[in-house]
Amino acid sequence: MAVVAALFGAVAPVSMRWLAPMLLVHVVWTALFVRVFLRKQPLANWLVAGDVAITIALCLAQVNLVATEVLVTGSSWVAGLVTMTVVMAGVTWRPITAVPVGLAVAGAFAVGVGLASPSQSVLSTLGVHLVQLLAIVLLMTLLRRSAASADTFLRESARAEISLMVERLRREDELRQVGSIHETSLHTLTMVGFGTYDEPSRTLRAQVATDLSALDKLRDHPHTASVPIALDALLDEVAERATGLDVRRRLTPETVPGDVAERFARAVTEALANIALHAGVHEAELSSGRRDGEILVEIADAGQGFDQHRLPPDRFGVRGSILDTMRSLPNGGAQISSGDRGTRISLWWRP
């Protein structure tokens, strides 16, 4: 829109020698924004910083780019770009950066107008830009706080859901154990009742001892976190609930303590959520198995990678829900490898 307005308003004293190259640079930078939009990528700092630099240059060169009639009204195409640049800065950066940048852009616009028309007052236009800056900074501050609260709520909800899944699988395992013990004990008592053993039997004694030991164990540890559950069944359910992803699974049957399974499930849930939100793909792979005595779970995608060392502070999921969750587990760990060809997250635990 700025380019079209600039071309239609290209009357004296506008210089095409200035206008053409400046608009070309602006069009190229706009194409980079379109590329980001089509790929659903977050705005990169360098992209917004370049936009700021281009807008400041356009502001300072208004004497050669904007007709005097439009300059006087304060409705030039450069003024529109100032508004968009201030908004972009506020959306991308925290107030500590966005405010100085916004003031610099607004100041450059005022200086450019002063150079082009020294008698022209820019106080009203400058005031509009300052109000825009204040509004976008306040809006983004509220949105970021709301997003942080929502993220916390969703993390707690995910943890509660995983805990319920783990508890359900644990109860199913306990019921299977109870059913198995019941059938075995009942079989032993039935044989005794029918007189199968009419004299002391070493086999009967061993079977009764086994049944009593199993019953004692079930009585003494009915609901401990160490009760084993099927990790493959839990991960299969986690993958099934992943939103917006087709998760291909290669899961090896494995039984682990309940608290270990819960850590794996939390990390896998967060990893799949990150893929759906940030990787730009709709497919992922989830595998589990044994490696050098360790239980290994891997999540992989072919999307756009990221640098985990340059993640913003509000991206708690990777650090807290994946790395810290697994590394705080005794004999557990996690590693992330990411690049242009995708991301692979490895989670492990040694029994």
Residues 192-218 pLDDT 10s: 666 666 667 776 677 777 767 766 665
- 98 and 228 both lie in a single domain: no
As a whole number of angstroms, the distance between CA 58 and CA 11 comes to 17
Residue 267 lies in a domain: yes
- 128 and 257 both lie in a single domain: no
Map residue 133 onto helix, strand or coil: helix
What pLDDT was estimated at residue 113?
84
The answer, yes or no, to whether residue 115 has pLDDT greater than 60, is yes
Residue 264 lies in a domain: yes
Residue 199 lies in a domain: no
Residue 152 lies in a domain: no
What number is the average pLDDT over the span 26-32?
91
Domain count, the chain: 2
115 contact partners, CB below 8 Å, separation of at least 6: 60, 62, 63
- 131 and 259 both lie in a single domain: no
Residue 324 lies in a domain: yes
State which of 126, 147, 168 marks the end of a domain.
147
- CB 276, CB 242: distance < 8 Å: yes
- 7 and 121 both lie in a single domain: yes
What pLDDT was estimated at residue 288?
92
Q: Which of 300, 301, 291, 308 is nearest to 348 (CA)?
A: 291
- 143 and 30 both lie in a single domain: yes
Q: What is the mean pLDDT of the chain?
A: 80
The answer, yes or no, to whether residue 184 has pLDDT greater than 70, is no
- 122 and 248 both lie in a single domain: no
As a whole number of angstroms, the distance between CA 65 and CA 7 comes to 10
- 121 and 12 both lie in a single domain: yes
What pLDDT was estimated at residue 52?
94
- 135 and 248 both lie in a single domain: no
- 134 and 238 both lie in a single domain: no
- 95 and 10 both lie in a single domain: yes
**With pLDDT > 70 as the criterion, what percentage of the chain qualifies?**
75
Residue 168 lies in a domain: no
Residue 165 lies in a domain: no
State which of 93, 121, 147 marks the end of a domain.
147
Q: Which domain holds residue 102?
A: 2-147
State which of 119, 147, 175 marks the end of a domain.
147
As a whole number of angstroms, the distance between CA 232 and CA 291 comes to 16
Q: Is 98 exposed, middle or buried (0-12, 13-18, 19+ CB in 10 A)?
A: buried
Token pair belonging to 47: 């992209």
Residue 239 lies in a domain: yes
Q: Cα separations (Å) of 191 from 187, 198, 202, 203, 239? A: 6, 10, 14, 12, 46
